[in-house]
Amino acid sequence: MKDTTIEIRWHGRGGQGAVTSAELIAMAAIAEGEYAQAFPSFGPERRGAPVLAFNRIDNANPIRARSSVINPDIVAVLDPGLLYITDVVSGLKQNGTLIVNSPKSLVDIKSEFGGPWKLAVVNATAIARELLGVNIVNTTMLGAVVKATGIIKMESLVEPIEERFGARAKRNIDACAKAYKEAEIAEPVAVRARQKREFQVEKWPAWQELLPGCVVIEAGSASQYRTGDWKSQHPESDYSKCIKCGLCYIYCPEGCIVPKLGEEGFFEADMYYCKGCGICAQECPKDVITMVEES
Amino acid sequence: MVKNRVSMEGSLAVAEAAKLARTDVVAAYPITPQTHIVERLAQLVADGELDANYIPVESEHSAMSACLGSSAVGARTFTATAGQGLELMHEVLFVASSSRLPIVMVVANRALSGPLSVWGDHSDVMAARDCGWIQIFAENVQQAFDLVICAFRIGEDPTVLFPVMVNIDGFHLSHVIEPLYLLCQEEVDKFLPPYKYPYALNPDKPVSIGAFGMPNIYTEAKKSQDMALRASKNVILKTWQEFGKLSGRNYLPVETYKVEDAEVLLLTMGSFSETAMIAIDALRERGEKVGLIRLRLWRPFPLEEFQKAVAKAKLIIVLDRALSFGRPTGPVCSEVQAALYPLKTKPEIVSFVGGLGGRDISAATFENIIRNGMEKAKSGRFDELEMIEVRQ
Amino acid sequence: MEKVITMEKNEVPFEEYLAPGHRACTGCGEMLAVRLIAKTLGDDVIIANATGCVEIVSSPLPTTSWRVPWIHTLFENTSAVASGIEAGMKAMTRKGRYSRKTKVVAMGGDGATADIGIQSLSGALERMHEFIYICFDNEAYMNTGVQRSSATPFGASTTTSPAGKQSIGQMTWKKNLPAIVAAHDIPYVATACPSYPLDMINKVEKAMKVKGPAYIHVLSVCPTGWHSQSNATINLGRLAALTGIFPLYEIEQGRYKLNVDPAQLSPIEEYTKLQGRFRHLPPEVLASIQERVTDEYVKLKKKAAEV
């Protein structure tokens, strides 16, 4: 039997709605009479953490595979920051499609992430902010995905979005349509752009390496985990206004605001861990700290 | 009078063993027919004869949970339960074994509700079969005493670190008075070194116990646990050998009785085995080539020993004291079938279930079971499980 | 001398015993509370942690966020595990095999404490084990996706007490767990919130000095489950106290004392309007909540006035 299945991998952050994107695509495809599935990858990571969601769509045969998508035909990236912390094109098929949400121009993105795949760029965050008032790009990104791949018809999304969003459906459909209009597309190039960052390959222990009961003897070893990758905004401080009260240090849920090196009494956030919650900026009595969008 | 020969109820013998093992913590909830064990331990603590903390918990779930805590902090820990109590502990049993905490527990085996029955059978332990504990069966009061002492040493061995369950039949062992050869404190101290948990909760060297496992590590965790449990058999064998040197009483994973030339083997577990021996003797006197196999070690299943013990027989008659509802067969019989299936030449297997909810099985009934089993084998009725002595 | 950070006249221990890099949601009030409490408890502690958000985000094998001895076993049994740790330590101390005066601390969420674990909690309190139990109350089963618990407040919409045409959300009033705990006649019970960090730290220090069990009930703002902004976490905790919805008090040897007692309670809308879980509530329901909150606060004040 000829393989007719199209596979999509969604990269998002917990709370951004990547799972919803996948679900809406599947619902639309099923409404068109195709076979489709949508499913999340379950992990312990929470709001803000990188998460994955998957689709399979097939216009000929029922879908039997239930395992994660390893070699996607389409990769959609909902958060610009994820491009720099995850190897989003991992396993992407030759002549597949990469769709990214980024404020950068197509030319810039192509210079960083171009390769033997079709590339689509849309500033979904700006569209969502404008039309929805929030930085949730799940419906907006659908417009760009449909434009770049034609995997479903735009009008097929209307009903699923109405069902899911009720009174807010109209605005979401508008955002989706705007992204369809604004998404810019570049054709595949033969050579992959050089990567700026080596992505860490997770290493998992063999069974013989586990201690009895899987006891962990290295205290605090989870501190190797870079939760700083979760943030979509980061704090910046104007120390001239700082009264060294220490409230930012106290109120940080990550415990990542630490005494500033060499400057007695000042504090600064460790970007390796800062998730960008904004509590320090909110609670600072002297407005020392402002939150700045990640670029 | 022989030195150290006393008369003692099975439950008290178990308590005495826990005392001689210098148990640090007992956490238990009373349930028939286990009560005499924990009452005795509470009294020993109250009288200052056992220097331990007795935690009178509010449920069996909490009993086993408290055992997790005390064992993890490095205290030698003992508990006992039965029937419904073991079931209420069920989820905690898995944590004890996967956390590799060498708690020792005696189960006074009891039927499961409903209808409510406080009386003995093996439904409780069979439902806990796959909980990852080392599981051992005693057949009399002396064995209950000996095997509890051995259980501490086996479980606490640094290469083992598994909880150990010693099964004694409810009432038939827990409430019977028999002669017992005690060991003195000095002998037990020599045999059983002090408990030292290598990964104990201690601020000097902070560890995390019970971290959670993503799909990409859980399988490795289980493999590691299974390999370790299977490997524990070597320590069990060694421990029982050394105990034999100390006491003159020898224990094996698979015990036999008159099997040398036996063509037909009866398989039993627990206290009914001794009654079955009477039947074997009677049939032997009439020239029948019958013998008895008693599974002492239930987990880890002693596969090689078992295959060897039954290899020459033509027929095995298995008596289960529990049902597997909807069965292909009884829980022990299923294991026996699985253990023998890979062999090229193997005995036929006939399955019986009896002794449920405290129903007695006499020597005469065992004779009937064996004869009936041989009949069935002759007529090729291997696929039916028969519940014995059921009123029609 | 332990290193401290000085805040006005107060000193906060500098050392972090909960390492950064935990996987909690952005703006998590619960992990903030855990972090500050862990600082206060110091290094001579053993923690027993119930299944829940704190456990999951802090212990992904093969790593741990904990720098103090820590054990997680199950959801409903943490008080029993702590009982065993305490008893084991006592026996070993008596027998000369343990020489520290380690504090045993049990932690659980509101589900682990008020619902599934209330039996083991009650048992451990009744047996008077020397341990501190800390309930991190984020007012629903957040770890599994915001299902209602008996600690979910009246009117809150959760995934299993959803607002709908026939429902205003949670239709029962929040279980008064501190009162249930206090009924065990234990020496120290307190409510706390990391929005009042020094008050909370002070309470943990008191609990550490108590002989017998101590209980601290910590309101833990959950941006994910409450549908609030991640930077509003501290403010929401503050408003919970100032509206009287979650009053901060202590019960020492059965005697009540209010720690934050505004001259005039703020209207509850100041608190509810910042949270999506209350967004659906019509004015008459809000009014009935206001009435109940005011009434409960009056009763609490009366208790605090008794000698």
Tell me which residue of C264, C236, C237, C233 sits closest to C248, measured CA to CA. C237
Q: Which two tokens stand for residue A283?
A: 């609670």
Q: Which two tokens stand for residue B51?
A: 């220097």
Percent of chain B surpassing pLDDT 90: 97
Distance of alpha carbon C196 from alpha carbon C249, whole angstroms: 12
Long-range Cβ contact pairs of C281-289 (< 8 A, separation 24 or more): C281/C155, C281/C168, C281/C169, C282/C168, C285/C155, C285/C168, C286/C155, C289/C154, C289/C155
What are chain B's partners, defined as 3 or more CB pairs within 8 angstroms? A, C
- B263 and B278 in contact (C-beta within 8 Å)? no
Q: β-pairing, C255-258 with C214-219?
A: unpaired
* Predicted confidence band of residue A41 (pLDDT cuts 50, 70, 90): confident
The per-residue pLDDT for A260 is 86
Per-residue model confidence as pLDDT tens digits over B159-181: 999 999 999 999 999 999 999 99
CATH of B5-247 among 3.40.605.10, 3.30.70.270, 3.40.50.970, 3.40.640.10? 3.40.50.970
Contact: C87, B66; criterion CB under 8 Å: yes
Is the pLDDT reported for residue B2 higher than 60? no
Please give the average per-residue pLDDT across A28-37, as a whole number: 96
Distance between A81 CA and the closest CA of chain C, angstroms: 16
Number of A–B residue contacts, CB under 8 Å: 57
Is the pLDDT reported for residue C4 higher than 80? no
Could you say which of B161, B205, B206 has the minimum Cβ distance to residue A212?
Answer: B161
Q: Which residue has the higher pLDDT, A80 or B109?
A: B109
Domains B5-247 and B254-387 alike in fold? yes
Residues 6+ apart with CB under 8 A from A112: A83, A193, A196
DSSP string, B58-126: SSHHHHHHHHHHHHHTT--EEEEE-HHHHHHTHHHHHHHHHTT---EEEEEE---SSS---S--SHHHH
Tell me which residue of B81, B110, B98, B192 sits closest to B147, measured CA to CA. B192
From chain C, the residues in CB contact with A247 under 8 A are 7
Please give the average per-residue pLDDT across B120-126, as a whole number: 98
- B120 and B109 in contact (C-beta within 8 Å)? yes
CATH class as words, domain B254-387: alpha beta
Distance between A208 CA and the closest CA of chain B, angstroms: 7
Distance of alpha carbon C189 from alpha carbon A24, whole angstroms: 49
- A89 and A169 in contact (C-beta within 8 Å)? no
Q: Is C171 on the interface with A (CB under 8 A)?
A: no
Q: Is B2 on the interface with A (CB under 8 A)?
A: no
On the CB side of A112, CA atoms within 13 Å amount to: 16
Residues of B numbered 78-117 whose beta carbons fall under 8 angstroms of chain C's beta carbons: which are they?
91-92, 95, 99
Residue of B nearest to A215 (CA): B209
Could you say which of B208, B210, B224 has the minimum Cβ distance to residue A210?
Answer: B224
Residue of A nearest to C68 (CA): A219
Long-range Cβ contact pairs of A186-189 (< 8 A, separation 24 or more): A186/A106, A186/A110, A186/A114, A186/A118, A186/A119, A186/A120, A187/A118, A188/A95, A188/A115, A188/A116, A188/A117, A188/A118, A188/A119, A189/A110, A189/A114, A189/A115, A189/A116
Alpha-carbon dihedral sign for residues A204, A210, A216, A219: negative
The per-residue pLDDT for C1 is 44
Q: Is A200 on the interface with C (CB under 8 A)?
A: no
Residue type, B177: I
Per-residue model confidence as pLDDT tens digits over C182-211: 999 999 999 999 999 999 999 999 999 999
Owner of token pair 């004779």? B367
Distance of alpha carbon B25 from alpha carbon B20, whole angstroms: 13
Residues of C numbered 65-104 whose beta carbons fall under 8 angstroms of chain A's beta carbons: which are they?
65-68
CA C213 to chain centre: 15
Structural domains of chain A in order of their starting residue, each with its CATH number: 5-186 (3.40.920.10), 207-293 (3.30.70.20)
The per-residue pLDDT for A45 is 60
Please give the average per-residue pLDDT across A40-55, as a whole number: 82
Residues of A numbered 185-244 whose beta carbons fall under 8 angstroms of chain B's beta carbons: which are they?
202, 204-208, 210-217, 219
Contact: C235, A282; criterion CB under 8 Å: yes
Tell me which residue of B191, B128, B188 sits closest to B163, measured CA to CA. B128
Q: Is A266 on the interface with C (CB under 8 A)?
A: no
Could you say which of C44, C61, C119 has the minimum Cβ distance to residue B59?
Answer: C119
Distance of alpha carbon C141 from alpha carbon A3, whole angstroms: 42
* Predicted confidence band of residue A295 (pLDDT cuts 50, 70, 90): low
Contact: B75, C59; criterion CB under 8 Å: no
Contact: C89, B73; criterion CB under 8 Å: yes
Is the pLDDT reported for residue C263 higher than 60? yes
Contact: B71, C84; criterion CB under 8 Å: yes
Q: Which two tokens stand for residue B341?
A: 């299936």
Tell me which residue of A251, A173, A200, A177 sits closest to A87, measured CA to CA. A200
User: What are the strands of the beta sheet with C132-137, ordered from one edge?
Assistant: B208-209, C70-72, C45-49, C103-109, C132-137, C214-219, C188-192, C249-252, C255-258
Please give the average per-residue pLDDT across A270-288, as a whole number: 96
Is the pLDDT reported for residue B389 higher than 70? yes
H-helix segments, chain B: 10-20, 35-46, 60-72, 83-88, 90-98, 123-127, 141-156, 185-191, 215-247, 272-285, 303-310, 331-340, 363-378
Residue of C nearest to B91 (CA): C74
Q: Which two tokens stand for residue B331?
A: 């829980």
* Predicted confidence band of residue C7 (pLDDT cuts 50, 70, 90): confident
Distance of alpha carbon C197 from alpha carbon A255, whole angstroms: 14
Distance between B213 CA and the closest CA of chain A, angstroms: 9
ipTM for this prediction: 0.96
From chain B, the residues in CB contact with C90 under 8 A are 53
DSSP string, chain A: ----EEEEEEEEEBTS-HHHHHHHHHHHHHHTT-EEEEEEPP-S--BTSEEEEEEEEESSS-----SPPSS-SEEEE--GGGGGTS-TTTTPPTTEEEEEE-SS-HHHHHHHH-BSEEEEEE-HHHHHHHHTSSS--HHHHHHHHHHHH--S-GGGGHHHHHHHHGGGHHHHHHHHHHHHHH-EEE---SSPPPPSSPPPPP----GGGSPGGG-B-STTGGGGS-GGGG-SEEEEE-GGG-----HHHHH-TTS-EEEPTTSTT-EEE-TTT-----HHHHH-TT--EEEEE--
From chain B, the residues in CB contact with A211 under 8 A are 199
Could you say which of B207, B210, B223 has the minimum Cβ distance to residue A207?
Answer: B223
Contact: C91, B99; criterion CB under 8 Å: no
Is the pLDDT reported for residue A44 higher than 70? no
Distance of alpha carbon A159 from alpha carbon A120, whole angstroms: 25
From chain C, the residues in CB contact with A226 under 8 A are 21
Residues 6+ apart with CB under 8 A from B331: B122, B126, B129, B320, B322, B323, B324
Could you say which of A206, A207, A215 has the minimum Cβ distance to residue B207?
Answer: A215
Please give the average per-residue pLDDT across B258-272, as a whole number: 96
Calculate Rg over the CA atoms of chain C: 19
Per-residue model confidence as pLDDT tens digits over A91-128: 999 999 999 999 999 999 999 999 999 999 999 999 99
Q: Which two tokens stand for residue B337?
A: 């079938």
For chain C, helix (H) and strand (E) counts, in that order, are 11, 12
On the CB side of A221, CA atoms within 13 Å amount to: 15
Tell me the average pLDDT of chain B. Answer: 96
Angle (nearest 5°) at CA C75 between C73 and C79 = 75
Distance between B89 CA and the closest CA of chain C, angstroms: 11
Residue type, B329: T
Contact: B199, A212; criterion CB under 8 Å: yes
Could you say which of C48, C56, C95 has the minimum Cβ distance to residue B69?
Answer: C48
Of A186-190, A247-251, B143-147, where does mean pLDDT reach its minimum? A186-190
Domains of chain B, residue spans: 5-247, 254-387
Q: Is A66 on the interface with B (CB under 8 A)?
A: no
DSSP string, C96-164: TS----PEEEEEEEHIIIIITTHHHHHHHHHTT-S-EEEEEE-SSBTTTTSB--TTSPTT---SSS-EE
Please give the average per-residue pLDDT across A170-199, as a whole number: 90
Q: Which residue has the higher pLDDT, A47 or C173?
A: C173
Residues 6+ apart with CB under 8 A from C165: none
Could you say which of A43, A207, A212 has the minimum Cβ distance to residue B220?
Answer: A207
Is the pLDDT reported for residue B109 higher than 90? yes
CA B241 to chain centre: 18
Please classify residue B163 by burial: count the beta carbons closer than 10 Å to its beta carbon, then call 0-12 exposed, 13-18 middle and 19+ buried: buried
Distance between A219 CA and the closest CA of chain B, angstroms: 6
- Interface with chain C: mutation pick from B29, B70, B217, highest number of C CBs within 10 Å: B70
From chain A, the residues in CB contact with C29 under 8 A are 253
Task: State yes or no: cis peptide before B300, omega within 30 of 0.
Answer: yes
CA B72 to chain centre: 23
Tell me the average pLDDT of chain C. Answer: 96
- B294 and B257 in contact (C-beta within 8 Å)? yes
The per-residue pLDDT for A2 is 67
The per-residue pLDDT for B1 is 45
Is the pLDDT reported for residue B322 higher than 90? yes
Owner of token pair 């919970």? C240
CA C19 to chain centre: 20
- C196 and C223 in contact (C-beta within 8 Å)? no
Contact: C81, B68; criterion CB under 8 Å: yes
The per-residue pLDDT for B86 is 98
Per-residue model confidence as pLDDT tens digits over B60-95: 999 999 999 999 999 999 999 999 999 999 999 999
Could you say which of B99, B206, B217 has the minimum Cβ distance to residue A204?
Answer: B217
Structural domains of chain C in order of their starting residue, each with its CATH number: 4-305 (3.40.50.970)
Task: State yes or no: cis peptide before A44, omega within 30 of 0.
Answer: no
